[in-house]
Amino acid sequence: MNIRNNKALIWVLVSLCIFSCIKESKPVDSEISIQNNKNLVLVFMPSGEPSKQKTKTGFTNVNKPRIKYIDELGQEVIYYPDNKLTTDTLIIETKNDYVSLNHSYFQMDHFSYELMPQDTVIFEYKNDKPYLTSKAVGTPAVILNFNQFWRKEVGKENELMGEFYYALAIPNKTNVTDSLFVVEALNNYRQGVDLLDSLMNKHKNAAEIIKLHKAKLAYDMLSIGLRNNFNKYFPRDIISRPETLHLRNNFKKYVSLDALDLRGKMDLQKDSLLYHESFLDFTRLLFETTYQIPRRVGRSESHLNYLAAVDTLFTHLPYAQSINEYLLYTYLKGVFDKYSVEDAHNAYNRFKQMSPESIYTKNLNTQYLPDLLAEKSDKRGVNLLSPAEDLLSLEDIIQDTDIVYIDFWASWCAPCIAAMPDSKRLALAYKGKVKFIYLSTDDNVDKWAKANERINLSDGDNSFLILNHKNSDWLKEIGLQ
C-alpha cells in the first residue's frame, strides 16, 4: 500500500513521550447501605481543601488522597477519591481473604491498611490524616489504624515519615548523621513489630490481620536488604566510629539472608500473599537477585532484560506454581512492550502451553492479542483494530478522502492526551473538509481502550489501535519509531 500516492496527509502529529500509566477505578453512588455481604466498600468522607506541609528535607507535600491496592492479577490499581467537598465511595470486588491497601495523603507519605472483604470501612480525615472505622466486621480501631498508633508510640505522630522502604531506596548516605537516620528508621520498624506482638495478646480475634501487618514490615525490610548495598548507608570512612559500628552490624543482621531464610522460604511455596504489594516486591527482587537477571541498555532507556527473566523462570520454576505464573505474567508484559512481535509471540506460546487455563494467560491474550501475529508482523501496510475489535487497514479508513489529519498518540503519552482538546477543536472547525483520525501506538489493548473512553474517542469511528506499529515500513519512514 502506498499511502503517500493515494492521499494527501496535511498534518501528521507525532507526540510520543514516556509517562507512567495507572489503572483507575470509577466511583459509584455513595448512598449505600453499610450491610455488605460480598465486596469491600470504602466510604470517603469529605476531606476539605488540600493543605500543604513541609518535610524535613524541604519538600512541600500537598494533601491529595490516593488509594492503591493489588488486584487479582497482581497489578497495581490506583484510585483518587473525589471527596474534597462531598462523600465518595469505592467498591472493591475481590476473591481474596484480605485487601492490602495503601493510602497516600501527603504525596510521599502514606499509611497502609489490612482490610477484610464483606466490610464497609469509613475514611474520616482528622488533622489532614485518614482515620478508619470498620462498620460491618468490627475490626478494632487500634489495629485498623495501626500506622497512626505506631507513629504515636515512637513519637512521630506529627511528622511526615514516609515509608522506610522509600526512605532507604534513594538517598545517598555519606555521613554519621545520615547513618543514624537509617538506624532510627530501622528502630521504628522494630518497635512496630513489638507493638504488633503486644496487640496480638490483646486482640486474638484479629490475629490474621496483625500477622499481615508484620508480614509487610518483614518484607519491606527484606526488600531493602536485597536492593541495596549496606555500605551505601554506612560508608567505610565512618563505620569504624563507635556510634555507627554496632548500629551497622545490627542493621545488616536484621535484613541479612539469614532473616530471608527464616521469613521468605515458606511463603514462596504458597500463594496466600499474592495480593500483598510488599510480598510481590520482595518476590521479584529475590528472583532477580538470586538469578542475577541482567539489564538491557538501549539508546534511550535501560530496563530489566525481561526476555532473560522469562527464560530463567521457565528453566528453574523455583517457587509455587501460582507465584511462578505471576512472575512470568509480570515479565511477559515487559516482553510484549519492549521486544519484537516474534519474541513476544514465542514467549507467550511457552506460557500458554504451560498454563493454558491460567487467569494470567487469558489476560495476556486479552491485553496483547498474541494470536494476531500476522497483522502485527506485517511490514507493508498499517493494520488497525477498531474499538469494536474489527480488523482494518489505514487504506480502508482513508479511501475516498482527499485530506486526512492523523494524530498519533498513546495512553502513556501525557503531552498527546493534553493536546487532545485542541485537536478536537480543530476537527470541529474543519468538519466536512478534513478527515481526522486518531491512531494509538499502545501495545496493551486494555490500556488503549480505557484511555479511548476516558478522552471520549471511543464513541466515534475515527479512533484505532495500530497493530504493527513496530514493523510498518511506512511508519518508520515518517519517523514513528
Name the grid cell of 278. Answer: 510488599
Name the grid cell of 478. Answer: 515518517
Mean pLDDT of 90-95: 89
d(CA 287, CA 280): 11
Per-residue confidence (pLDDT) for residue 160, from 0 to 100: 64
Q: Please tell me the least confidently modeled range out of 19-33, 53-67, 147-161.
A: 19-33
Q: How would CATH label the architecture of 3-19+381-477?
A: 3-Layer(aba) Sandwich (3.40)
pLDDT band at 246 (very low <50, low <70, confident <90, very high): low
DSSP string computed for 431-472: TTTSEEEEEE--S-HHHHHHHHHHTT-TTSSSEEEETTTTT-
Please state the separation of Cα 470 from the chain's center in Å: 25
Q: Please tell me the least confidently modeled range out of 101-110, 260-269, 360-369, 442-451.
A: 260-269
CB-based contact 8:403 (threshold 8 Å): yes
Mean pLDDT of 54-71: 74
Per-residue confidence (pLDDT) for residue 123, from 0 to 100: 94
Looking at per-residue pLDDT, the higher value among 410 and 51 belongs to 410
Which helix (H) or strand (E) segment holds residue 283: the answer is helix 277-290
Per-residue confidence (pLDDT) for residue 29, from 0 to 100: 36
Looking at per-residue pLDDT, the higher value among 253 and 171 belongs to 253
- Domain ranges in the chain are 3-19+381-477, 26-162, 176-300
Q: What is the mean pLDDT of the chain?
A: 78
In the chain, how long is the greatest CA-to-CA distance? 82
pLDDT tens for each residue of 176-215: 455 555 666 667 777 888 899 899 989 988 988 998 888 8
pLDDT tens for each residue of 366-382: 888 888 888 888 888 89
pLDDT band at 37 (very low <50, low <70, confident <90, very high): very low
- What single letter denotes the amino acid at residue 209? I
pLDDT band at 133 (very low <50, low <70, confident <90, very high): very high
pLDDT tens for each residue of 303-344: 899 999 999 999 999 888 988 999 999 999 999 988 998 999
pLDDT band at 173 (very low <50, low <70, confident <90, very high): very low
pLDDT band at 443 (very low <50, low <70, confident <90, very high): confident
Mean pLDDT of 245-269: 52
Q: Please tell me the least confidently modeled range out of 46-50, 95-99, 268-272.
A: 268-272
Mean pLDDT of 164-174: 43
Mean pLDDT of 267-283: 78
Per-residue confidence (pLDDT) for residue 424, from 0 to 100: 87
